[in-house]
A and B are shown apart, each in its own frame.
Chain A
């Protein structure tokens, strides 16, 4: 609900104009009524004069109305009550008439004027209530400090045609200007000394007030229930300023409360993030110190032994092999950590391109050749499988992690199955194994970072599956884990994708 534009009472603001109108109106009435009076008698003129005075009372201030009442009484006497052109009144009844005319004109004018003022006040109140209501409604929807400021500024501009400038504290009572970018030229006229004074003393200052009246802006403190968000500086004209203090207090309290709400929300969020990252840091630290130490110890020990001259040829070869394996393991750890942090920071850029899933799987199988040797690997992809729009490298990594996970958790000789199909706009990839599956209560945790089932001794940081999740999500897709009735686990990645219009492809 939007309050209407304020109706301007009185229309004639300047005093001189009002008095001129009074004199003019009465002169015209006198001039017009002269012929009428000769025909109909002078009493009718008094009614016309009374009528004109009460009409004027609806538009003019109290001063001009008093003047109008007096002059109209005198004029009636002078021009119309016999003897004409004197202030003498011959008849006694006319003396009464004159007296009552004067009183009626006066009372009529004053009362009309008072009603009008009352009405104006009521309108003003309604307007203010609407303004507050509208502000409250808009502020309740604003869900960030920036948005609250935007709403407050917009509302202020709309209703009072005044520019407002918010200077907020940073949470440690340091005032920084929050919205310089919004109205740059205005920012320069904000006086930081006054802002500080207002913030510290929690009192209004600046133009139209007792403190710093030379300033071009008026400054109000923003007071919240628990903290004071800052100060607002406003450039407005006197008539707007002269709304009552209670209104401005209510208005700015609303803004303050909304700001405070968002302030506290942000602080709570920061605290939570800090807390979580602290927890993560500890987990990571423990894992890294453990997981990295083993391969490093292997490399150091093996190379140290190699440096001693009396090592047999066979042992040398074995030691070199150990170094090679350990470095591979370190590399894998590092890649996983890097990938995780890239995914989390959103720094992975995803290049969707047409991919051949068969080609992708073949690549993964080739990379995992050694690990897969111990298993029966079955892949079920229809030869008609269409190309899918994916990031080849990232999806390759996801499939790699899933198959590697199965290899690490399944007994030698068991079957690992890979399936891929295109189904109603989704590419669905499944990897199944015949391992122990997951304890039922852990199914929703397996994709968490650094999570290892039963703190299993298996090597690695517990990042592989969370990377799969991150990669699937980077493709707007999902991944889920479930236990098979026959034992073993099944992972399903589904990713929304398009398929190419094959007719378009010229096969020549």
Chain B
């Protein structure tokens, strides 16, 4: 059955990739829709309003990033890029143009499923929960209190803003620029050293083992992701 939260539209021109995705997604309980070019992708997306779109950037008719922008004009649910383009520039510009996540081919199906799940969860959770609970860590967004294993952790105002911004987008990569803009403001867009220092401080406070971070994960050259 097609329902609101499990339809996935795959826009990719390669048959083998489509078949592979069909098998791995359907066996995980998702319903798949396919489009082999940009135009077909746009109409299928408009007709079925899927819960997630998986988009390849190298389509035969429309340049992937342009298609992303056109989809984003009305499509508010997650778009995950699945592309052979693996340069940081490509990834950052796709994320900046509204992609929720980015995976490069070759990819691991398990990884893709995890990304889809968290993307769906984030988009469903927009009803602003007052407390984010991650098992041993909880973040009280209303009272600005962070607890690790029931122990209150003292965070500065900036540390708290950074942590809660990442946590609210659990599983999603937030780019350096985005984080700097949100936390420090436009004039700090180039000042990545702030981000590095604060992430290192936060890790010391909230991670079990700061040298093997599991909550604040570095995405090389792109940004940070709050772990699952």
Task: Mark A residues whose CB is within 8 Å of B.
Answer: 327, 331, 349, 351, 353-356, 358-359, 362-363, 365-366, 387, 391-393, 396, 500, 502, 505, 507-508
Contacts and interface: CB of A to CB of B under 8 A. Distances in A.
Given A351-B88, A354-B192, A505-B197, A359 B158 contact: no
Nearest to A363: B218
A355 B180 CA distance: 15
Contacts of B201: 507
Contacts of A392: 218, 220-221
B98 interface: no
B212 A387 contact: no
Interface in B191-228: 192-194, 196-197, 199-201, 211-213, 218, 220-221
A366 B192 contact: no
B221 A358 contact: no
B220 A363 contact: yes
Given A354-B192, A387-B196, A505-B197, A362 B212 contact: yes
Nearest to B156: A508
A393 B106 contact: no
B158 A508 contact: yes
A363 B158 CA distance: 25
Interface in B109-137: none
B61 interface: no
A397 to B, nearest CB: 9
B157 A508 contact: yes
Contacts of B89: 349
A353 B180 CA distance: 14
B105 to A, nearest CB: 10
A355 B176 CA distance: 12
B50 to A, nearest CB: 29
A507 B87 CA distance: 32
B213 A362 contact: yes
Contacts of B192: 353-354
B221 A351 contact: yes
B211 A500 contact: no
Given A355-B196, A363-B220, A508-B156, 17 more contacts: A327-B106, A331-B106, A349-B87, A353-B192, A354-B196, A356-B196, A356-B199, A356-B200, A359-B200, A359-B218, A363-B218, A387-B193, A387-B197, A500-B193, A505-B194, A507-B156, A508-B158
Interface in B139-154: none
Nearest to B92: A351
Nearest to A369: B212
A358 B212 CA distance: 10
Top 3 A-B pairs, shortest CB-CB distance: A393-B221, A354-B193, A500-B193
A113 B193 CA distance: 84
Nearest to A342: B87
Nearest to B88: A393
A358 B158 CA distance: 22
A349 B211 CA distance: 29
Q: Is the interface of B mostly helix, strand, loop or mixed?
A: helix
Contacts of A365: 212
Interface residues of B, number: 22
Given A331-B106, A349-B89, A351-B88, A366 B196 contact: no
A199 B87 CA distance: 51
Contacts of B220: 363, 392-393, 396
Most buried by A among B156, B176, B193: B193
Contacts of B87: 349
B211 A362 contact: yes
A364 B194 CA distance: 23
Interface string B19-32: 00000000000000
Given A351-B88, A505-B193, A508-B157, A359 B221 contact: no
Contacts of B199: 356, 359
Contacts of B221: 351, 353, 391-393
Contacts of A363: 218, 220
Most buried by A among B88, B158, B196, B197: B196
Contacts of B211: 358, 362
A296 to B, nearest CB: 15
Most buried by B among A354, A363, A502: A354
Contacts of B106: 327, 331
A392 B223 CA distance: 11
A362 B216 CA distance: 12
Contacts of A351: 88, 221
A406 to B, nearest CB: 19
Contacts of B196: 354-356, 359, 387
Contacts of A353: 176, 192, 221
Nearest to B200: A356
A486 B46 CA distance: 68
Nearest to B204: A383
Most buried by A among B157, B176, B213, B220: B220
Contacts of B176: 353
A83 B196 CA distance: 118
A309 B89 CA distance: 46
A358 B199 CA distance: 12
Contacts of B156: 507-508
B200 A358 contact: yes
Contacts of B197: 387, 502, 505, 507
Contacts of B158: 508
Nearest to A331: B106
Nearest to B213: A362
A508 B162 CA distance: 12
Interface in B31-54: none
A500 B145 CA distance: 31
Contacts of A355: 196
A358 B211 CA distance: 8
Contacts of B212: 362, 365-366
14 contacts: A349-B87, A353-B221, A355-B196, A359-B200, A362-B211, A363-B218, A363-B220, A365-B212, A392-B221, A393-B221, A500-B193, A502-B197, A505-B194, A508-B157
